[in-house]
Amino acid sequence: MWSLLLRKLSMGRLTQKGGNSLRSHKSSNLPSSFRKSLQIRHLDCGSCNGCDWELTASINSIYDLQHFGIDFVASPRHADLLACTGPGSTHLLNAARETYEAMAKPKWVMAVGDCAIDGGVFKGAYASERGIGKTLPVDIKVPGCPPTPDDVIKALLEFMGKK
């Protein structure tokens, strides 16, 4: 217990500063109740898992996505936003549609990474789409292969009108 406490004291605050603004600076198209907090459901549609790891990194103690009022939730029923990674592998499309249908309205879709936007390097593979936009209505696109956690957080904050 003491060792834990000592480590905690010696480390201090880890979360990087900058951007922890809770007031809206810019206009956002979101209804006002979604501008302060957003619940995200992640959906892997055949990604190489690079984007997935970057999403995971965005909730580590250094980026601490939660302190912006954004969090990942376990069920589409609890989610406002579906964060899709990967080009849309054929085997998974039905499950992707069902996940989207399970979300309560209003709901939005974010395409994370080049693959999710247009298929990326996997364009033309026989069991893959050219991006998730063919299957689900995409509202935000975050380009990159993979986009860094900073890119993802910036896109989310802009979407919410926080930055």
Partner 1 sequence: MLGLQEYLQSYYSNPAVKIEQWEKHEGLVEVPPHDLPGILAYCIAMRPHPIWLTHVVNDERQLGNGFCVYLVLHFPGKDFSLTLVAKGIKSEFPSLALIFPALNWSEREAQDLFGLQADGHPDPRSLVLHPGWPKGFHPLRKDYKTGKESKDFKRAPLVFPEMHGDGIFQVPVGPIHAGIIEPGHFRFYAIGEPVLHLEAQLFYTHKGIEKLIEGRSIEDGLRIIERVCGVCTVSHALAYCEASEKLANFEISRSVLLWRTILAELERVYNHVGDIGNMCAGVGFALGNANGSQCKEELQRLNLEFFGHRFLRGIVVPGGMKSIPGPTESQTIRSRLQELSDDFEKWIPLLIRHDGFRQRAVTTGVLKPESAVDLGVTGPAARASGLPYDWRELHAHLLYPELKVKAMIEHKGDCWSRLMVRVKETRESFRFLHILLSEGMKKSEHRPEIQKSFSEHRMQPWQPAWGCVESPRGTDVIWLMLDDESKIYRCRVRSASYANWPAVPLTVPGNIVPDFPLINKSFELCYSCCDR
46-85 residues in contact with partner 1 (CB under 8 A) are 46-57, 60-63, 72, 74-75
Q: Which whole-number Å values give the CA distances from 149 to 49, 63, 73, 104, in the listed order? A: 14, 8, 18, 26
- Residue 125 burial (10 A CB sphere; 0-12, 13-18, 19+): middle
CB of 48 to partner 1, least distance (A): 4
Q: Does the protein bind partner 1 through residue 122 (CB under 8 A)?
A: yes
**Considering only CA atoms, which of 103, 108, 155 is closest in space to residue 132?**
108
Q: Closer to partner 1 at the Cβ: 109 or 161?
A: 109
Q: Which residues bind partner 1 (CB under 8 A)?
A: 3-4, 7, 14, 42-44, 46-57, 60-63, 72, 74-75, 86-87, 89-92, 94-95, 99, 120-122, 124-129, 145-146, 148
